[in-house]
């Protein structure tokens, strides 16, 4: 057995992918699939703010791709928003302030549909939550999970639109968030009473540390494939 640490990469089928937006930009990404058998659910990650260093390798997203195909039988789809660079490469285009990124999200979701991946949940982190809240309502998704939502680019009007939709929404709020702490989050999200606001003690906006990583990944798996909980902290290796 090996202990699962920050740098641990568990077995999966990992494939570089790309897709083209409605306005003609090629975006780069990766899909990570369970090694044995089809996925039981799909997670589409929308990464943090590009102008503050957010990309498809932001640590929670990278660790989800490294662990959850093996630990929870999930497909993990991650990509760089337009104009963003990672080891995978650079997505074409320039930062769209959360507006043009609608087309990035739609292109990624279309790729998931075209490849038959099941039950797509959208997981946004920080800026990614705003793309999800503002644009996912027009699409058939299984649910939204919002990690550290700042609600800078999401208006009360945009939130209220979700009252006409039954898709589950979970907002995971760090106790010490830089932008939206739990009490304010409950007030702001109160316009959509069905949103499940989950406060995380000692959490911070960037979810640094294995304890916080484990909590965030567990919150995701609880919604997408709860039968995989509790997530293992060790993994068998062949002799």
pLDDT digits (tens, 9 = 90+) for 196-228: 999 999 999 999 999 999 999 999 999 999 999
pTM: 0.97
pLDDT digits (tens, 9 = 90+) for 70-121: 999 999 999 999 999 999 999 999 999 999 999 999 999 999 999 999 999 9
What average pLDDT score do residues 44-58 get?
A: 98
Q: What pLDDT score does 155 carry?
A: 96
Q: What pLDDT score does 127 carry?
A: 98
- DSSP labels, the chain: -EE--TT-----EEEEEEEE-TTS-EEEEEEEE-SSS--SEEEEEE-S-GGGT--TTSHHHHHHHHHHHHHH-EEEEEEPPTT-EETTEE-SS---TTTTHHHHHHHHHHHHHHTT--SEEEEEETHHHHHHHHHGGGS--SEEEEES---SS--HHHHHGGGG----EEEEEETT-SS--HHHHHHHGGGSTT-EEEEETT--TT--SHHHHHHHHHHHHHHH-GGGPSPPSEE----
Using the predicted structure, report yes or no on whether residue 239 has a pLDDT greater than 60: no
Give the largest CA-CA distance in the chain.
57
Q: What pLDDT score does 237 carry?
A: 81
Q: What pLDDT score does 173 carry?
A: 98
> 53-83 burial, b for 16+ CB within 10 Å, e for fewer?
ebbbbbebbbbbbbbbbbbbbbbbbbbbbbb
* Domain boundaries of the chain, sorted by first residue: 2-235
Q: Are 130 and 98 in contact (CB under 8 A)?
A: yes
Cβ partners under 8 Å of residue 140, min gap 6: none
Yes or no: domain 2-235 corresponds to CATH 3.40.50.720 = no
Q: What pLDDT score does 183 carry?
A: 98
What average pLDDT score do residues 132-147 get?
A: 97
Q: What pLDDT score does 93 carry?
A: 98
pLDDT digits (tens, 9 = 90+) for 9-48: 999 999 999 999 999 999 999 999 999 999 999 999 999 9
pLDDT digits (tens, 9 = 90+) for 140-194: 999 999 999 999 999 999 999 999 999 999 999 999 999 999 999 999 999 999 9
- 120-125 and 143-147 strand pairing: parallel
């Amino acid at each position: 057995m090996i202990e699962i640490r920050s740098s641990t990469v568990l077995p999966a089928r990992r494939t570089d992918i790309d897709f083209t937006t409605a306005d003609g930009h090629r975006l780069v990404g990766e899909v990570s699939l369970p090694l044995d058998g089809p996925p039981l659910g799909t997670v589409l990650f929308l990464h943090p703010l590009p102008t503050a260093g957010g990309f498809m390798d932001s640590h929670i997203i990278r660790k989800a791709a490294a662990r959850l195909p093996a630990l929870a039988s999930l497909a993990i789809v991650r990509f760089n928003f337009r104009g963003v660079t990672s080891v995978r490469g650079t997505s074409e285009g320039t930062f769209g302030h959360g507006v043009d990124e609608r087309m990035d999200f739609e292109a990624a979701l279309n790729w998931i549909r075209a490849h038959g991946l099941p039950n797509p949940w959208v997981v946004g982190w920080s800026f990614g939550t705003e793309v999800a809240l503002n644009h996912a309502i027009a699409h058939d998704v299984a649910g939204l999970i919002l990690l550290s939502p700042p609600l800078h680019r999401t208006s009360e009007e945009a939130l209220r639109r979700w009252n006409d939709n039954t898709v589950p929404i979970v907002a995971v709020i760090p106790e010490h968030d830089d932008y939206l702490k739990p009490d304010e989050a409950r007030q702001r999200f109160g316009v959509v009473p069905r949103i499940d606001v989950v406060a995380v003690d000692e959490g911070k906006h960037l979810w640094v540390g294995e304890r916080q990583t484990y909590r965030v990944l567990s919150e995701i798996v609880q919604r997408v494939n709860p039968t995989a909980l509790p997530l293992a902290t060790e993994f068998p290796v062949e002799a």
